[in-house]
């Protein structure tokens, strides 16, 4: 796996791993995952001791909004990439006591056959995850815990108390442009918690900033 760059984002626990594609007259080849690299390379130390129990793939039409989802018991981190199309990934800090609690970022992740590289984005436990799509898109994500429908919840991406101040302005405007008359969103996501309502839910105590510091990125 030829890793080109590991980038910190405005939420520093969220990282992007950029890897090479090798093109020729036939197309391209890429090694998108090698366990030994993820476990042993110093620049990927945040992924050491993270195991993956589930791999998911989804297809979304242009204009779809998903999220913002999270889970406990077991905690679930996600390693996400765009297979084809144009995803914008959304990550919201829900760790109570965190200096960035309630702040959201967006990361632009287009992918097509002519792209010179691919990218993973790592969203650790303690963060709610979602996305929106600028083109019809397929994405893939590895999960560090198996899905448990009894211990999941979501913040509505439309919640008025989300703090967008860390988000790149152009991506924020792109998201805002989808909102009037939005139809490609589930009612469950549309009617998810506000930050204030989630903070009052006893289950929110599963996501404490000091717990992450003690347990590590994988909880």
- CATH code for position 102: 2.60.120.10
Residue 181's pLDDT band (cuts 50, 70, 90): confident
Is the CA virtual torsion 109, 113, 116, 121 positive or negative?
positive
Average pLDDT, the chain: 94
Active site residues: 69, 141
Mind listing the pLDDT tens digit for each residue in 131-152? Answer: 999 999 999 999 999 999 999 9
pLDDT grade, residue 214 (50/70/90)? very low
DSSP helix/strand/coil, 169? helix
* Confidence (pTM): 0.93
Tokens of 79: 């390693």
Answer positive or negative: Cα dihedral of 218, 155, 97, 15.
Answer: positive
Structure tokens at 88: 């914008």
Residue 213, Ramachandran bin (φ over 0: left; ψ between -120 and 50: alpha; else beta): alpha
Domain hosting residue 100, numbered range? 3-215
Q: pLDDT, tens digit, for every residue of 96-135?
A: 999 999 999 999 999 999 999 999 999 999 999 999 999 9
DSSP 8-state code for residue 133: E
Counted domains in the chain:
1
């Amino acid at each position: 796996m030829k890793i080109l760059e590991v980038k910190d984002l405005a939420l520093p626990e969220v990282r992007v791993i950029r890897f090479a594609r090798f093109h020729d007259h036939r197309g391209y080849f890429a090694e998108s995952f090698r366990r030994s690299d993820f476990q042993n390379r110093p620049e990927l130390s945040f992924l050491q001791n993270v195991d993956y129990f589930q791999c998911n793939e989804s297809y979304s039409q242009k204009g779809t909004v998903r999220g913002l989802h999270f889970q406990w018991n077991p905690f679930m981190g996600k390693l996400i990439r765009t297979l084809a199309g144009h995803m914008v990934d959304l990550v919201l800090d829900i760790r109570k006591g965190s200096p960035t609690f309630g702040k959201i970022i967006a990361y632009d992740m287009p992918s097509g056959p002519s792209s010179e590289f691919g990218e993973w984005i790592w969203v650790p436990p303690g963060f709610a995850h979602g996305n929106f799509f600028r083109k019809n898109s397929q994405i893939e994500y590895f999960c560090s815990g198996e899905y448990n429908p009894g211990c999941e919840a979501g913040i509505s991406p439309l919640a008025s108390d989300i703090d967008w101040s860390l988000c790149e302005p152009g991506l924020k405007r792109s998201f805002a442009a989808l909102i009037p008359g939005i139809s490609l969103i589930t009612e469950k996501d549309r009617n998810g918690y506000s930050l204030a309502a989630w903070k009052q839910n006893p289950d929110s105590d599963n996501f404490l900033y000091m717990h992450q510091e003690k347990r590590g990125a994988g909880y």
